[in-house]
Structure 1
Amino acid sequence: MLPMQQHRGLLQGQRLPVGKGLLPPSQQRRWSRKAQGVDVQAVQAPQAPEVSQSVAATPVMNIDADINKTVLSIILGGGAGTRLYPLTKKRAKPAVPLGANYRLIDIPVSNCLNSNINKMYCLTQFNSASLNRHLSQAYLSSVGGIHSQGFVEVLAASQSNVNKNWFQGTADAVRQYMWLFEEAVRDGVEDFLILSGDHLYRMDYRDFVRKHKESQAAITIAALPCAEKEATGFGLMKIDGNGVVTDFAEKPKGDALKSMQVDTSVLGVDKETASKRPYIASMGIYVMQAKALKELLLNTFPNANDFGNEVIPGARDIGMKVQAYAFQGYWEDIGTVEAFYNSNLALADPATAQFSFYDRDAPIYTMSRFLPPSKLMDAEVVKSIVGDGCVIKPGTSIKNSIVGIRSLIGADCTIEDSMIMGADYYETLEECEYVPGCMPMGVGDGSIVRRAIIDKNSRVGGKCQIVNKEGVKEANQEGKGWVIKDGIVVIVKDSYIPPGTVI
């Protein structure tokens, strides 16, 4: 095995766990201590008559010891990412930068590693180059080993003799690679953990898988208890007294919404929370029994494209057991520019932050870049996060903002309520000569940036004002290097904004 990479967190260096057990002994006292040392009976989920089979009883299984052998994670990278455009113009949605040092894909991958799951595929079909590069450089040499046989790989849409179409949806993406997943089943995988690549949360999947096993379900859905105000924006589920899903409704309103109220305490939610949050929303995260998934995608619903709207409701209709699992932590779907912007800025304010990268027992891993410490030269920084390798010159004020890796911010700048993503590389003087006026990547002297996102490798000249001066909600000036979405100015990656520009 290649030498172990060191992965950095914002607070302190974190090493990516390696080896047969994946997690070192020092990290066995985990944030979900109840997940330790619990034996459950591994059982086959009861299936509809069409898929029932006679199977031999399996031995008692220890979730923590065996999960890296019996569970394979499939991370759905999403489609073209149109709601996140232009952040997805040159990259897949899971490769979008997050929190100064990270990318969105680091969240599900880290959750898997912290849950002792080390077999991961990420399915995508748009702009997969940067995602592939990040995963290979961040995890490839550290996850797998002679004993653990772990991996993190990108599976991009491709033509074959059987199927010449692109992915048509979440279910179709998994179906097109079912031949590969069947190989994993032959090697001992019993369940597939299906995740999304654009969610922000911290979750111990061992509890999730344990509930799936204990309930003998064909499919288990992660559910988020929510209040009526939030419920209208989600796909909701109705459950019986045992937590078995009996009905689905997509973004219901009025009487249809009222009819979806349930007693969430049956899922382990405390009584006070259950009374305030009587609805359960699907998080788009599932554990599926391998045999049931194969039967559903290849035989029962061979033309279904989506898990949430077609396959899972159909599985319930034919008699498969669909179970709900309550997740009570912070979770955010980062599907739009506004949600992405708000989630990032919330990280910078300790008073309002609901998610933190500072957790020694469940760290978020990323690529080891070995960058120098950031240099702040007589600058004011308030309620902000500054990534590695940045240079911030004198007289600059940064408030409530995220400053990404390798950012260069000139003198006397004002950065407020903004996200500066930084740069992919340090530029030499020779490289800079190819740019008009040799304007370096970053923000030039005397510029003002408010309520904006400046994507990577962008060049904002001196004395610019990126402030949405007209206060518009939507504008498309991509030819000039910028757009406005949800009132937020987004400077497109690799753009050149001339000195003195006012937006």
Structure 2
Amino acid sequence: MRAVGIILAGGNSRKMRELTSKRAAAAMPIAGSYRAIDFTLSNMTNSHIQKVAVLTQYNARSLNEHLNSSKWWDFGRKQGGLYVFTPTITDDNGYWYRGTADAIYQNLDFLRKCHEPYVIITSGDAVYKMDYNKVLEYHIAKKADITVVCKELAPDEDATRFGTVKMNESCRIEEFEEKPVVARSQTVSTGIYVIRRRLLIDLVEQCAEEERHDFVTDILIRYRNVKKIYGYKMGTYWSNISTVDAYYKTNMDFLKPEVRKYFFKELPAVYSKVSDQPPAKYNPGAVVKNSLVGSGSIINGTVENSVIFKKVFVGNNCVIKNSIILNDVYLGDNTYIENCIVESRDTIRANTRHVGENGVKVVVEKNERYAL
């Protein structure tokens, strides 16, 4: 494809509370055996984008470990590859990434050495499938300077945590408001952009000269009346996981047959780093209803409407309802969990009860497992 990919995966999502205290939002587990960034990486390789840069910064260790080999997404080619860029101190620069535009600016050498005429810029914390070729064809047909992929939210969904846009009849963006106090539109930016590579380099250099650091505020909003910025409407499933409630809802969506069929049974496929775990084991007396259970898990109790990730042990007489149990959690006997997200590598003591009374509860137990 005639484009290079850039995935912005360096931000800190404070709205995810304890969940991002030790990992980046792009590394959050999704649907039993994936991580959030897998969906974007899979879209890149399925769109035949051979060269992809991932810009990481905040709590990047687990994300870097996940990206330590490009073979899982088939980027290991002579012409392309998967590049992971973290902030680097140089003689000219002593800063971390100060924003999305600054992150691109600090890695402009990568863009200058590329020969592809276009750049696809995406975030790493959204769950969706997309053929970027169709967006690029639209971009070229419209003779656009920048194309923003947009999504129409349902009337009851909160649009204030996104950038909201208003378009005219030809889909040119006339208004763009980043995280408004009151949303005047339910059409939001998905954080996916197409732009010509030379134009991106010029705009980012201009931002750097003026000490501006944010791609949305300092490029999209600032230039909306100067550059031809068009919206591309997306009609398929898209979900951003940047809050605890959104993360919970996204995982719960995978309990719906139509969502599972769309992501797991229909081509193109979603790829992830494979860990060699045995199949999930259901011991006599285990009751599992409408749940996803990851490999390496052992179930003894009752699991209903829940997502259980890899290497989870559920003890005798445990009851788990409407909950998400992340990787490598040990649940002691007679534990009751409802409406919760249990952090990975936790040990929940026997006879413990955790219920999210007012919304979703995040459970973090700092027990030493082998000292009990």
Query: If the length of structure 1 is used for normalisation, what is the TM-score?
Result: 0.68
Partner of 2:282: 376
Structure 1: 5+ residue stretches without partners: 1-66, 261-278, 424-440, 474-485, 499-503
* 2: CA distance, partners of 1:139 / 1:403: 26
Alpha-carbon distance, 1:168 to partner: 1.3
Whole-Å separation in 2 of the counterparts to 1:108 and 1:139: 15
- Distance change >3 Å, CA 342–CA 218, structure 1 → 2: same
Mapped to 1, the partners of 2:261 and 2:18 lie a distance apart of 25
The match for 1:83 among 3, 8, 15 is 15
Which residue is 2:228 aligned to? 321
1:52 paired residue number: none
CA contact (8 A) 2:326 2:341 kept: yes
Change (3 A) 1:103 1:141: closer
Residues 355 and 343 of structure 1: is their aligned pair in 2 closer, same or farther, counting only changes over 3 Å?
farther
> Alpha-carbon deviation of 1:170?
1.1
Q: CA deviation at 1:327?
A: 0.6
Cα offset, 1:177, TM superposition: 0.9
1:232 and 1:73 mapped to 2: Cα distance?
Answer: 27
Taking the aligned partners of 1:372 and 1:320, their CA distance within structure 2 comes to 54
Q: Of 295, 299, 309, which residue of structure 1 is paired with 2:217?
A: 309
Cα RMSD (Å): 2.5
Which consecutive residues of structure 2, in runs of 5 or more, have no partner in the other structure? none
TM-superposed CA distance for 1:229, in Å, is: 4.5
How do residues 333-348 of structure 1 correspond to structure 2 at under 5 angstroms?
Answer: 333-348=240-255
CA contact (8 A) 1:136 1:153 kept: no
Superimposed CA distance per residue, residues 449-475 of structure 1 (whole angstroms, 9 cap, x where no aligned partner): 11111122111121111224xx4x5xx
3-state SS of paired residue (2:49): coil
Aligned to 1:192: 119
Counterpart mapping for 1:46-65 below 5 A:
none
Change (3 A) 1:161 1:115: same
**1:165-180 pair list within 5 angstroms:** 165-180=95-110
Alignment partners' CA distance in 1, 2:316 and 2:224: 61
* Displacement after TM superposition at 1:249 (Å): 2.9
Taking the TM superposition and a 5 Å limit, the aligned residue runs for 1:463-478 are 463-468=351-356, 471=357, 473=358
Contact residue 23 and residue 59 of structure 2 kept, 8 A:
yes
Letter in 2 for 1:111: N
- Kept after mapping to 1: 8 A contact 2:164/2:178: yes
Cα distance in 1 for residues equivalent to 2:5 and 2:63: 17
1:112: Cα distance to partner? 1.0
| CA positional deviation for 1:397 | 0.5
What letter corresponds to residue 162 of structure 1 in structure 2? D
Q: Is the CA contact 2:338–2:355 (under 8 Å) kept in the aligned structure 1?
A: yes
Distance in 2 of aligned mates of 1:342 and 1:231: 13
**In 2, distance between residues paired with 1:413 and 1:77?**
37
Alignment partner, residue 245 of structure 1:
173
CA distance, structure 1, for counterparts of residue 315 and residue 189 of structure 2 = 45
TM-score, structure 2 normalization: 0.91
The residue number in structure 1 matching 2:86 is: 156
Query: Aligned partners of 1:98 and 1:252: how far apart in 2?
Result: 28
Q: C-alpha separation between the residues in 2 aligned to 1:158 and 1:349?
A: 43
Conserved? CA contact 2:292–2:306, under 8 Å: yes
Q: How far, CA to CA, are the matches of 2:265 and 2:81 in structure 1?
A: 24
- 1:358 deviation in Å? 1.5
The alpha carbon displacement at 1:313 in A equals: 2.1
CA distance in 1, matches of 2:244, 2:179: 21
Q: Secondary structure, in 3 states, of the residue corresponding to 1:415?
A: strand
Write the letter of the residue equivalent to 1:397.
T
Q: 147, 157, 162: which one pairs with 1:220? A: 147
Task: Tell me the amino acid that sits aligned with residue 451 of structure 1.
Answer: N
1:456-495: per-residue Cα shift (whole Å, max 9, x none)?
A: 2111121111224xx4x5xxxxxxxxxxxx5413225xx3
Letter in 2 for 1:332: S
The answer to whether the Cα contact below 8 Å between 2:147 and 2:230 also exists between their aligned partners in 1 is: yes
Q: After TM superposition, give the deviation of residue 135 of structure 1 in Å.
A: 1.3
- Cα pair 1:414 1:448 within 8 Å, conserved: yes
How far did residue 292 of structure 1 move?
0.9
Which of these residues, 29, 32, 36, is aligned with residue 100 of structure 1? 32
Give yes or no for the alignment of 1:109 onto 2:41.
Answer: yes
1:357 partner SS: helix
8 Å CA contact 1:138–1:367 kept in 2: the answer is: no
Alpha-carbon distance, 1:290 to partner: 0.8
Taking the aligned partners of 2:190 and 2:269, their CA distance within structure 1 comes to 22
1:410 to 315, 337, 343: 315
Q: Residues 143 and 150 of structure 1 are in contact (CA less than 8 Å); yes or no, is this contact kept in structure 2? A: yes
Partner AA of 2:51 in structure 1: K
2:353 equivalent to 1:445: no
Aligned pairs, number? 368
SS in 1 for 2:218: helix
**Are residues 1:294 and 2:201 paired?**
yes
CA distance in 2, matches of 1:102, 1:383: 19
1:231 to 1:238, Cα distance in 2 relative to 1, 3 A? farther
Assess if the C-alpha contact under 8 Å between 2:153 and 2:159 holds in 1: no
Structure 2 CA distance for aligned equivalents of residues 80 and 446 of structure 1: 36
Cα distance in structure 2, aligned partners of 1:490 and 1:73:
36
Paired with 2:272 and 2:310, the residues of 1 have a C-alpha distance of 13
2:112 is aligned to: 182
Checking the alignment, whether the CA contact within 8 Å between 2:163 and 2:177 is kept in structure 1 is yes
Q: Which amino acid aligns with 1:77?
A: A
Secondary structure at the residue paired with 1:203? Answer: coil
CA distance in 1, matches of 2:164, 2:266: 34
CA contact (8 A) 1:138 1:368 kept: no
Q: Identify the match of residue 128 of structure 2 among 201, 210, 217.
A: 201
- For 1:75-123, what per-residue CA distance to the aligned partner results, in whole angstroms no more than 9, with x for missing partners? 1114222222311122222111111101111010011111111311111
Quote the Cα distance in structure 2 between the aligned partners of 1:227 and 1:491.
33
What percentage of aligned pairs have identical amino acids? Answer: 30
Matched, 1:235 2:141: no
Residue 323 of structure 1, CA deviation: 1.4
CA deviations on 1:329-376 (whole Å, 9 max, x unpaired) are 11111101111111112211337x488431341111111212111110
The question of whether the paired residues in 1 share the 8 Å contact of 2:165 and 2:173 is answered with: yes
Aligned partner letter, 2:220? I
